[in-house]
Amino acid sequence: MRNRVIAGICSTVLSCSLLIGSSGTTYASGATTAAEVPSNKPVKNVILFITDGMSLSDVNLARWYGGGQPLTIDKYFSGLVRTYATDSLTTDSAAGATAYATGHKVKTETVSILPDKSTMPLLDTVKKEDMNKPLPTIMDAARLAGKSTGTVFTCELTDATPATFLSHAYTRDNAGSIAEQMVYSGVDILLGGGAGYLVPGKEDINRKDGEDLTKVIKSSGYEYVTDKAGLMNTKTNKVWGMFNKEALDADLDLNPQKQPSLAEMTKIAAEKLSQNDKGFVLMVEASQIDWYGHDNDPVGIVSETLAFDRAFKAAIDFAEKDGNTAVVSVSDHATGGLNMTNYDANKELVSVLKKAKHTSYGFEGNINEKNFKQVLADNYGLTNLTKEEADAVREGLKDNLSPVIGKILGAKIGVTFSTDDHTSEEIGLFAYHPTNFKPTDFAKSGVIQNTDVNRYIQEVTGLNLTALEDTLFVTADKFRAKGATVTLDKTDKTNPVIVVKKGGQLLKLPMDKNIAMMDGKALKLSALTVMIKDKVWVSQDAVDLIN
């Protein structure tokens, strides 16, 4: 391996106009004239991919793993996306995905609520009374317009990205609340991992309130399936699929008889959702590119990037046949800072990476200080470890082995990582539209904001989140303005209930649900009842129940 250090060369050089407005405003128009911009043909359906943590360098490595042949996404590369949050140049997944879900930049770690902290430039001002207010999502807009909605992912359902489309929280770590909100969100198709977050039990991930949310799911008319065969044999268009108690296995590691691939889940979700004549919005997350970026595992990055590319192809195949679907793919941020400095031929890289039978997660629990040399030889083709490498493996076994393996492999193929954290670089935008009207055409720039992607989806579908922002969520003070009393019943501390009384009327609103109990009768609401930082937010139609 002939590695060289070349100073002064950037992997991506950007020369672009300055931002000219708030978080919703993008860049000044370039040289393209209005006549050259493809016209917008409204579409019924949108499939939005979020490739968590995927950088363009990750894509490059995956492409070379396949011999340098183009990936499916290459044909649809459309531009770059800026991902910063309201309080940070580098975003996390919660804030990054919230921008795509709601059209607003928000504070890191928060889930689809307006920010209470804004230190970055070019942002809208949030009124004090609106800070931490739940934001309607594109799923809310689609659902209320009569469209079907779906989410597909390979992480746990409570992880940041899927959470932002179906729940609201001050911290992404509030898994118990997020899981319950997602169950009551009204989503039609939900496929991924995290079954343990739905049921009571002794494990850390299990519910502590005693509720078995799988019973709620089943009683709400969903087919609840737990393996690939169950998914393939579903008969309805309302499906919850939980294929592992925590995250799904990486594509390179999964048992194809038990767990569906990301491509299979994408195809089935699109086919089922398309049975609605009014159309659908589907979010698909390739969740674990980020995880392998954090752990500096090039094999895992390749596995999950290629799994995404196959899922993207499934979506494109559907869209081209359907003729009424737009497909967009973005990342919430990049992770790991992967660098390629390989000065050998590609066969050297491929000869090393192709020996890997699993990602570094694939043999967790099956490797120890006694057998690690054999396990690494069998799973990675890593033989004849040096003393320094063997010592590093022994140390990694005590804490985190993934980056140790990644470093050993990287030394052989010219791959290094600059960090085990997120990075603030622009990420790739890939898009398909029946008349080639892309988010970059909508924004009139090749470099756009993450919030522009949400606004593009609104544009091509005719959905309107701005109107919902003023009407969907209101404070419980609206009840008091009607002369009602409002109290919080904490008899069950894990499941508090808002109690509203006026005259002979009695209204109960269980937290994290879209249910109202009016004079003992259960009613379904347009939005969830949630508490953010001790402030209760309710659906406007709940307020309308009180005379």
Amino acid identity of 539?
S
Of all helices (H) and strands (E), which one includes residue 478?
helix 477-481
Angle between helices 298-322 and 56-65 (to 10 degrees): 90
**Is 332 annotated in some ligand binding site?**
yes
Contacts 24+ apart (CB under 8 A), 233-239: 234/268, 234/272, 237/148, 237/188, 237/189, 237/272, 237/273, 237/275, 237/276, 238/188, 238/189, 239/188, 239/189, 239/190, 239/191, 239/272
Q: 104 a known binding residue?
A: no
171 is in an annotated binding site: no
DSSP 85-119: -SS-SS--HHHHHHHHHHS----TT-BSB--S---
Eight-class DSSP state of 200: B
333 is known to lie in a ligand binding site: yes
> For residue 33, which phi and psi values (nearest 5 degrees)?
-85, 165
Rounded Cα distance, 343 and 371, in Å: 34
C-alpha–C-alpha distance, residues 197 and 205, integer Å: 5
Q: Are 7 and 437 in contact (CB under 8 A)?
A: no
Q: Which residues are catalytic?
A: 93
The answer to the question of whether 294 is labelled as a binding residue is yes
Q: Is 159 annotated as a binding residue?
A: yes
**Residue whose entry in the numeric block shows the structure tokens 């268009």:** 237
Residue 399: other Cβ atoms inside 10 A = 8
Consult the annotation and say whether 433 binds a ligand.
no
**Beta-sheet strand order (sheet of 497-502):** 485-489, 497-502, 505-510, 515-518, 521-524
Detail the residues annotated as belonging to a binding site for Mg(2+): 52, 159, 161, 285
Detail the residues annotated as belonging to a binding site: 52, 159, 161, 285, 290, 294, 332-333, 422
Detail the residues annotated as belonging to a binding site for Zn(2+): 52, 290, 294, 332-333, 422
